[in-house]
Structure formats: C-alpha cells, structure tokens
C-alpha cells in the first residue's frame, strides 16, 4: 500500500498504532487565550506536537507534565489540579 501524496502543509505522524496525517494550520494567528497540558511521557503524541499546537496561538501557555503519559490528569492528578487552578486564576484576571 502506498501512502497518499502530502499537500505542502500536511505531515505524516508515525504512532505505535500506525500513521496519521495531520494538516498544519498557519501559526500564530489565533488570538484567544489557550492553555495546553501535555504528558511529557506520552507514547502516542510527542511533545513536539504540543509545541506546534501552542504555535498556533499568539499567547499560549504550554505545560508539559513530567512522568505523565497520554492521560496526565490520571498519572499526576495533583499537579494537573494545581495547574488547572493556576490557569483558572490567570484567566479570571484577563
């Protein structure tokens, strides 16, 4: 089976479960507050993807949770709860 041709902004992401095609959106244009919490030991999605997602926004807040898998809220519940509380406090002041 051959892979389909990629458009200029498409990327082939290899995962343990197979290949996934991702369409990239031009970055830095979305002017909404966003916070991203990402597991630092995620076996399915690499932290480079989190950085690329964060790059879509003008003022992102990226939090990579150490020793957390695809489910950081399960692996590090107190740390994620603390992050969410801090994010909620920051958002309420905007």
pLDDT tens-digit map of 40-86? 999 999 999 999 889 888 889 999 999 999 999 999 999 999 999 99
Domain assignment present for 85 = yes
If one counts the domains in the chain, the total is 1
**Which of 6-10, 64-68, 88-92 reaches the highest mean pLDDT?**
64-68
Q: Which range marks the domain in which residue 68 is found?
A: 27-92
Judge whether 20 lies within some domain.
no
Q: State residue 46 phi and psi, 5-degree precision.
A: -75, 150
pTM score, two decimals? 0.66
From residue 2, how far is each of 5, 6, 19, 20 by CA, in Å? 9, 12, 12, 14
């Amino acid at each position: 089976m051959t892979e389909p041709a990629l458009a200029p902004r498409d990327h082939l992401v290899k995962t343990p479960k197979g290949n996934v095609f991702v369409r990239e959106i031009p970055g830095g244009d979305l002017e909404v507050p966003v916070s991203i919490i990402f597991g630092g030991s995620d076996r399915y999605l690499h932290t480079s993807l989190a950085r690329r997602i964060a790059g879509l926004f003008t003022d992102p807040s990226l939090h990579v949770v150490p020793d957390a898998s695809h489910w950081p809220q399960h692996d590090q519940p107190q740390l994620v709860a603390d992050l969410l509380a801090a994010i909620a406090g920051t958002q309420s002041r905007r």
